[in-house]
Amino acid sequence: MRGSWRANDTLTLTDTERLHHLLHVLRIKKGDSLRIFNPTLGEWYATVVTISRNHLALDIGEKPVALPVIPQRQIHLACALLKRDAFEMVVEKATELGVATITPILSEYAQRRTLNEDRLRAIMVNSVEQCGGFEVPTLNTPVSLNNFLQKFDTNHYVYAALENERDITTAFMPTGNNIKILIGPEGGWSDSEVRILKTLTCVSPISLGCNILRAETAAIVACGIASIIR
């Protein structure tokens, strides 16, 4: 929840989607306690004091439950656009794993070219609430592979999973505090895209194991490895 507050403040919530979730899914009532958070102030207790069709008012409690924790490592996931359910799974699980940004890539073999950004942002908010985080990832505008790679140089490696390339044997062992992961589409990158990825010095081709993984599985595995290996 964006904004600033202090103990004993009254905070008014008017966001239609959040109101629907609180009132009709969680069935929040006057007098109920809940927790609110944002990346600056952390997590606080609050009590519902007023409910109407268009807003919900909260009294802020005395002390924060926890202070925001600044991650030591920032993970940036770039993933080719997948089928809707698969891409939504990637967004949900990557958010739970604490990624900082998600960039949809328009690859040659992408099975769709558009996405519902509002739905994806709602999924990210729900995932942050579920896992007890404070920060919702930034969802970037879809971009072509070439345009995505143009911003990097030899000092900014992009770890690209090339599972179909049998000569790629380097296991994914991320280093540094700013990890960029690139995952391809269902069926893999096109021949021309593979040539680009294997030629550019900013790209570090890596393997996620001996099995060929589905794209959504590869994205989740890579983010998981990057979040725990130091």
pTM score of the predicted model = 0.77
Question: Which pLDDT does position 124 carry in this prediction?
Answer: 93
Helix pair 84-96, 215-228: axis angle to 10 deg: 10
Give the H or E element holding residue 18.
helix 16-20
Question: Which pLDDT does position 133 carry in this prediction?
Answer: 76
Question: Which pLDDT does position 2 carry in this prediction?
Answer: 61
> Residues 181, 77: contact at Cβ < 8 Å?
yes
Q: And the tokens for 31?
A: 């007098």
R_g (Cα) of the chain, nearest Å? 20
- Three-class SS string for 190-218? CHHHHHHHHHCCCEEEEECCCCCCCHHHH
**Distance set, CA 123 to CA 91, 166, 226 (Å):** 7, 35, 22
Question: Which pLDDT does position 166 carry in this prediction?
Answer: 55
Question: Which pLDDT does position 188 carry in this prediction?
Answer: 87
Question: Which pLDDT does position 206 carry in this prediction?
Answer: 87
Question: Which pLDDT does position 35 carry in this prediction?
Answer: 79
Percent of the chain as helix, strand, coil, to the nearest 5: 30, 30, 45
The residues pairing with 183 across neighbouring beta strands, listed in sequence order, are: 79
> What domains does the chain contain, in order, with CATH numbers?
10-66 (2.40.240.20), 74-228 (3.40.1280.10)
pLDDT beneath 70: ranges in the chain: 1-3, 38-40, 42, 64-71, 153-156, 163-169, 230
- pLDDT, tens digit, for every residue of 157-192? 899 998 666 556 577 888 888 899 999 998 889 999
Where are the strands (E) in the chain, listed by range?
10-13, 33-38, 42-51, 56-66, 74-80, 101-106, 138-139, 143-144, 158-161, 178-183, 203-206
Question: Which pLDDT does position 175 carry in this prediction?
Answer: 83
